[in-house]
Structure 1
């Protein structure tokens, strides 16, 4: 603590940072590690494990097809009306923590009725024949600002490690490194999966430029995009943690045909990123350097359900929250992504598993619930024994959840029954119509149980 304080005072007096912004030395063997130059002078460390495995091609006809038909209406007051028009996977989808499933119908955010005029005025208008003139402004206020229609068929299949066209990408968040995925990389590589995990710029053993513009969302997203293009297979699964979830969402939006499934671990709500104006990370770099021991202690306190010797050792061994004050300040100030709003997330058609640690103090559970409500095919799993760094705290539980999700595929509904029983088949549409009408009457809200799967929470900055 004293050394950090002296270094910080020296930084303030000289106007120069005492942090030497260079890649962190790694003591791990070079096997499985590659250094990729994404731009001149910008080098990222990537752990790439290509296991020796018997090549088993995916059988033809395996998997199920899901109709992704959705209409997203954006009103001028910012509210959404989301209507799911296509069939979604039903009982075959992964269950929530309590084993229950939500009906896969519509996600609706109803607009309140606009009562701009009082009843006496309406009556007077009706008497004078001016009712149409008063109703016209009401229609203008209700006029949608934007309407997005999604209509596609998505084929979802089981992804096994023996399939040569499957690759797993693991993206960490602010202050982390690829080492936080150590348990997951070892587990899935032993199962035969090809795994790829990069260090973000300024993290782990990647290069750390000395300009703040190198750590904006767009600069980091471009790095991840180039890494994805370099290692991507035909079917790719993205796994992101916290801020890394935003980069996974960006890739899934840019490459919908190549991203097969996605996992969001404590990623927060579906809101556009915006740096906080009243944040400790807006302090000068030298002040942050003085406070680095306090920040590390705060991260341990908020990021782990328990704060014992084991958790401290995990932070040290996995190179978590071991970045310079300059990089930390630039990362938090560069989280500006106005495109990543609720509509952006609602347009995703990829199946998504959300994993949330019950004791997470960085991301409230309401934010992941909101994310699950907005996404088309999202399944929320809540682990009672974990916090923000749940992949390090509960590696066995996280690995099991991820593996089950990778192997999941919807079953194709048989069509023989409708031919054998035409009378029943004719009666079914009326029942379905009644069910859908009931769902439309009941708007979805964010007050679902924490274990609900079906679908909706908010955050502006992510760690």
Structure 2
């Protein structure tokens, strides 16, 4: 299996398949690169090079005691992009992964990036503060920390219900999707996953968003119970200088899995628009 070894000795697992313009996917908490399998196969068949990595302390990457914070996540991503020498890159980030790619672009620039996609992403800030009254109170995230620490196996299974909107009336529940989420979550390290909770909830990405001037698709379900749209996508679309906002009516947080055909079609259309702009 392919890995890169970062400057601090951490091994970062990645998948690199297909050929063509590169599309790099960044996963949500507490998942792994496998969360993007359907998108990778779909775009790979359309003639794109598709890449996804396991964030440190997640999936098959090293479980580290230190470095489980957004600056290091962004630096790890930069090392992967530079090692693979990726250019004209499409970055796609879901949830925490949306924060990761946003911070990467704010911290390392967009010289290698053509366009980005934020799906159900955490920027600009999930935490409720005096300046961000639409966010979630700290008690919500303290509850996530407690559930993860006390019995993460059960907590991850329970989390799948609101994550995929399976707690809504009349929704068809896939036990396979639920078990897939659980399996990915349990592959990671407890310490790193606990550390990561602060990174997706308390980090303010506003200044990163202000530095991004490439086209960005901001896609979000308006029934996202994990990352409420009002504190995330609606604000990000206002801050970004070149954003396209796509709202999925009734859409849940795990939209790329529960509605993979619809999201894949939107993703491909967005990328092809970029290709047309480059050709022009």
Which one has the bigger helix percentage?
Answer: 2
Residue 268 (str. 1) matches residue 128 (str. 2):
no
Q: 1:296 aligns with which of 126, 133, 156?
A: 156
Residue 312 (str. 1) matches residue 172 (str. 2):
no
> Structure 2: how far apart are the matches of 1:183 and 1:296?
21
Aligned to 2:238: 373
**TM superposition score normalised by structure 1:** 0.51
> Structure 1: how far apart are the matches of 2:122 and 2:179?
25
Q: 1:225 aligns with which of 78, 99, 117?
A: 78
Aligned to 1:406: 271
Residue 331 (str. 1) matches residue 185 (str. 2):
no
Aligned to 2:52: 197
When residues 333 and 376 of structure 1 are mapped into structure 2, their CA distance, relative to the original with a 3 A threshold, is closer
Q: CA deviation at 1:407?
A: 0.9
Q: 2:247 aligns with which of 367, 370, 382?
A: 382
> Structure 2: how far apart are the matches of 1:333 and 1:269?
13
Superposed, which structure 2 residues align to 1:79-118 within 5 Å?
none
Alpha-carbon contact 1:272-1:340 (below 8 Å) kept: no
Q: CA deviation at 1:329?
A: 1.3
Q: CA deviation at 1:241?
A: 0.5
> SS in structure 1 opposite 2:23?
strand
Alpha-carbon contact 1:37-1:43 (below 8 Å) kept: yes
Q: CA deviation at 1:371?
A: 1.1
> Structure 2: how far apart are the matches of 1:221 and 1:262?
15
Q: 1:348 aligns with which of 193, 203, 212?
A: 212
When residues 255 and 411 of structure 1 are mapped into structure 2, their CA distance, relative to the original with a 3 A threshold, is closer
Alpha-carbon contact 1:281-1:333 (below 8 Å) kept: no
Q: CA deviation at 1:326?
A: 2.6
- Give per-residue Cα distances to partners, 1:34-74, cap 9 Å, x unaligned: 122124541111000134xxxxxxxxxxxxxxxxxxxxxxx
Aligned residues: 261
Query: Which range is displaced more, 179-188 or 322-331?
Result: 322-331
Alpha-carbon contact 1:217-1:337 (below 8 Å) kept: no
Larger CA Rg, structure 1 vs 2: 1
Q: 1:234 aligns with which of 87, 101, 104?
A: 87
RMSD: 2.8
When residues 315 and 227 of structure 1 are mapped into structure 2, their CA distance, relative to the original with a 3 A threshold, is farther
Aligned to 2:98: 245
- Give per-residue Cα distances to partners, 1:160-206, cap 9 Å, x unaligned: xxxx4x21100012101000101001011111111110001111111
Aligned to 2:131: none
Alpha-carbon contact 1:215-1:331 (below 8 Å) kept: yes
Structure 2 residue runs without a partner (length 5+)? 129-135
Structure 1 residue runs without a partner (length 5+)? 1-32, 52-163, 413-463
Alpha-carbon contact 1:34-1:46 (below 8 Å) kept: yes
> SS in structure 1 opposite 2:185?
coil
